[in-house]
Structure 1
Amino acid sequence: MSNPFEDTEATYVVLVNDEGQHSLWPSFAEVPAGWSVVVPETDRQSCLDYINENWTDMRPKSLVEAMATAGQDAP
C-alpha cells in the first residue's frame, strides 16, 4: 500500500490545532481529537499551498507567547 499522505490523486483537508500547527490530512481519515478542519476537501496541492501561505512560523503558539513574555524576538 502506498503512503496516503503522498497520493497526488487523492483528496485532502488541512487541519490546525490549538497551537496553530497545520497538517495535510487524507480526507477519508477521521480528524484526530484536538484538530479542526480549516480547508475542506480539495486536491493535495491546494492544501499544501494553503499551509505554505498560512503556517509561516513553525513554533507552537505557546512557545511564541512564552518568548514574547520573556522579551525575546522571533528567530
Structure 2
Amino acid sequence: MSSSDTVRFRVVVNHEEQYSVWFTERPLPAGWTETGVSGTREECLAHIAEVWTDLTPRSVREARGSAAA
C-alpha cells in the first residue's frame, strides 16, 4: 500500500456548485461545504466526474436562465 492510498480526502462544493477535493484532516476553506463523500483522491475525483457534469458556475447558469425568460 502506497502512502497515497492512506491519505484521505473529502469532496467539497462551493456556492457556485464547483467541486474539489480537500484533505480530511484540514479545516475546510471559507466558502466550501462537505458533500459527505470521502475516500482516496482517486475515489473522490471519480465521484466528482460523475456528479459535476456541467462545469458552468451556478451564477452563470442562473443568469442565462433569467435572460431566456
Q: Unpaired segments of 5 or more residues in structure 1?
A: 1-6
Scaled by the length of structure 2, what TM-score is found?
0.81
> Number of matched residues?
65
Q: Which residue number corresponds to residue 60 of structure 1?
A: 57
- Displacement of 1:41: 3.3
Distance 1:41 1:49 in 2: 11
> Percent identity over the alignment?
37
**Equivalent-residue separation in structure 1 for 2:42 and 2:10 (angstroms):** 11
| Cα distance per residue 1:10-69 (max 9 Å; x no partner) | 110000111101011111221012111103432222211110011111111010010111
For residue 43 of structure 2, the aligned residue among 39, 42, 46 is: 46
Aligned to 1:37: 34
Q: Specify the alignment match of 1:8 in structure 2.
A: 4
Instruction: Answer whether contact 1:39 1:47 (CA < 8 A) is retained.
Output: no
User: What stretches of structure 2 of length at least 5 have no aligned partner?
Assistant: none
Q: Deviating runs (4+, > 2 A) in structure 1?
A: none
Q: Is the 8 A contact 1:20 1:60 kept in 2?
A: yes
Return the TM-score normalized by structure 1.
0.75
CA contact (8 A) 1:21 1:60 kept: yes
